[in-house]
Structure 1
Amino acid sequence: MSGSEQQLAIGRQVRLICSTTMAFLTLGYVADTQAGATFKIDDTKWVSVGAGLRTSFRAQESAAGGDGDKWSNDFNLDNIRLYINGQVHKYLKVEFNTDCQTCSNGGEVRVLDAIGKFEVNPYANLWVGRMLVPAERREMNGPFYSAVYNIFSAGTPFEPSDYNLVIKSDGTSAGSFGRDDGATFWGAALDGRFQYAVGFFRGLRGGANADDNILYAQRFAYNFWEVEKNPGYYTSGTYYGKGGDILTVGVSNQYQEDGAGTALDAGNFRGTTADILLEKVLPGGGVITLNGEYKNYGISQGYSQASRDAGGGFDMFEGNAFDVSGMYLFPQKIGIGQFQPFLRYVNVAPSTSATREVYEAGLNYIIDGHNAKVFASYQYGDLLSKGLNYKTTATGEDVSQMMVGFQWQI
Structure 2
Amino acid sequence: MKKLNKVAYLVALATTATLAPIATTHAAGTITFGEDQYISLGFGMRGSYSRVEDGAGNGSSYSNDFNLDSARIYLSGSLNKYIKGMLNTEKSIAGQGFQVIDAAGIFEITPDFSLWAGRFLSPSDRANMAGPYYSLGGGYWAGIASRYGFNGGYIGRDDGLAVVATAFDQRLAYSFGAFEGNTTFQIAPVADLVESSRGSDGLMYAGRLQYSFWDKEPGYYGTGNYLGAKDILTVGIAGRTQNNGAVSATDQGKYSSYSIDFLMEKQNVGPGALSIEAAYYDYDTDGVFTSEEGDAYSAGLGYIFNEKVGIGQIQPFVRYQRFDADNNVDLRQTDLGVAYIIDGYNAQVSAVFSQLEETNESDTNSFLLTMQLQF
Which category of TM-score, normalised to the shorter sequence, fits these structures? Answer: 0.7 to 0.9
**In the alignment, what sits opposite 1:322?**
297
Residue matched to 2:207: 218
Give the direction of change, closer, same or farther, for the CA distance of 1:226–1:33 in structure 2 (3 Å limit).
Answer: closer
Q: How does 1:3-402 map to 2 (within 5 A)?
A: 30-32=22-24, 35-62=27-54, 70-102=61-93, 105-152=94-141, 155-159=144-148, 162-163=149-150, 174-205=152-183, 207=196, 209-229=198-218, 231=219, 233-242=220-229, 244-262=230-248, 264-282=250-268, 284-300=270-286, 303=288, 317-382=292-357, 396-402=361-367
Q: Cα deviations across residues 111-139 of structure 1 (Å, max 9, x unaligned)?
A: 01000010122332100000001000011
1: CA distance, partners of 2:26 / 2:334: 37
Q: Secondary structure at the match of 2:128?
A: helix
Looking at structure 1, the residues matched to 241 and 142 of structure 2 have their Cα atoms a distance apart, in angstroms, of 23
Do the aligned residues in 2 keep the contact of 1:209 with 1:263 (CA within 8 Å)? Answer: no
* 1:277–1:289 contact (8 Å) kept in structure 2: yes
Query: What do residues 252-298 of structure 1 show as CA deviations (whole Å, max 9, x unaligned)?
Result: 00100001132541110000011111000015550111121111001
**Separation in structure 2 between the aligned mates of residue 98 and residue 67 of structure 1, nearest angstrom:** 34
Report how far residue 141 of structure 1 moved.
0.5
Report how far residue 33 of structure 1 moved.
8.1
Task: Quickly say closer, same or farther: Cα 1:225–1:208, change in 2 above 3 A.
Answer: farther
SS at match of 2:127: helix
Question: What is the CA distance between 1:78 and its match in structure 2?
Answer: 1.1
CA distance in 2, matches of 1:298, 1:154: 16
> In structure 1, how many angstroms separate the alpha carbons of the residues matched to 2:101 and 2:258?
24
1:198–1:218 CA contact under 8 A, matched in 2 = yes
Task: State the distance in 2 between where 1:137 and 1:202 align.
Answer: 21
**Superposition deviation, residue 153 in structure 1:** 6.4
Distance 1:90 1:214, change over 3 A: same
Q: Cα 1:203–1:29, aligned 2, differ >3 Å: closer, same or farther?
A: closer
Deviation at 1:208, TM superposition (A): 5.1
In 2, the alpha carbon distance for the partners of 1:265 and 1:154 equals 25
User: Counterpart of 1:332 in 2: which secondary structure?
Assistant: coil
Aligned length: 343
In the alignment, the residues of structure 1 paired with residue 156 and residue 257 of structure 2 have an alpha-carbon distance, to the nearest angstrom, of 14
Check conservation: 1:292, 1:325, Cα contact below 8 A.
yes
Q: CA separation of 1:92/1:220 partners in 2, compared to 1, >3 Å: closer, same or farther?
A: same
- State the 1:144 CA deviation: 1.1
Specify the SS of the correspondent of 2:86: strand
**Displacement, 1:316?**
6.8
Query: What amino acid is the match of 1:202?
Result: E
Per-residue CA deviation, residues 374-408 of structure 1 (Å, 9 max, x unaligned), is: 0001111225xxxxxxxxxx853201100000000
Question: Which one has a bigger Cα radius of gyration?
Answer: 1
Contact (CA 8 Å) 2:21, 2:221: kept in 1 or not? no
Return the offset for 1:177.
1.4
TM-score by length of 2: 0.86
Are the equivalent residues in 1 in contact too, given 2:337–2:352 (CA < 8 A)? yes
Q: Name the SS for the 2:147 alignment partner.
A: coil
Displacement of 1:331: 1.4
CA offsets 1:169-191 (integer angstroms, 9 cap, x no match): xxxx7311121000110110011
The corresponding residue for 2:10 is: none
**Which residue identity lines up with residue 84 of structure 1 in the other structure?**
L
RMSD of aligned alpha carbons: 2.2
The Cα offsets for residues 76-128 of structure 1, whole Å up to 9 and x where unpaired, read as: 111111011110111000100000131xx333310010000101223321000
Greater strand content: 2
How far 1:46 sits from its partner (Å)? 0.6
Is the CA contact 2:262–2:279 (under 8 Å) kept in the aligned structure 1? yes
Percent sequence identity is: 35
Q: Deviations over 1:35-76 (max 9, x none)?
A: 40000011121100011111111111118xx775x2011211
Query: Cα–Cα, structure 1 residues 154 and 299, in superposed 2: closer, same or farther, change >3 Å?
Result: closer
Instruction: Classify 1:337/1:195 alpha carbon distance in 2 versus 1 (closer, same or farther; 3 Å).
Output: same
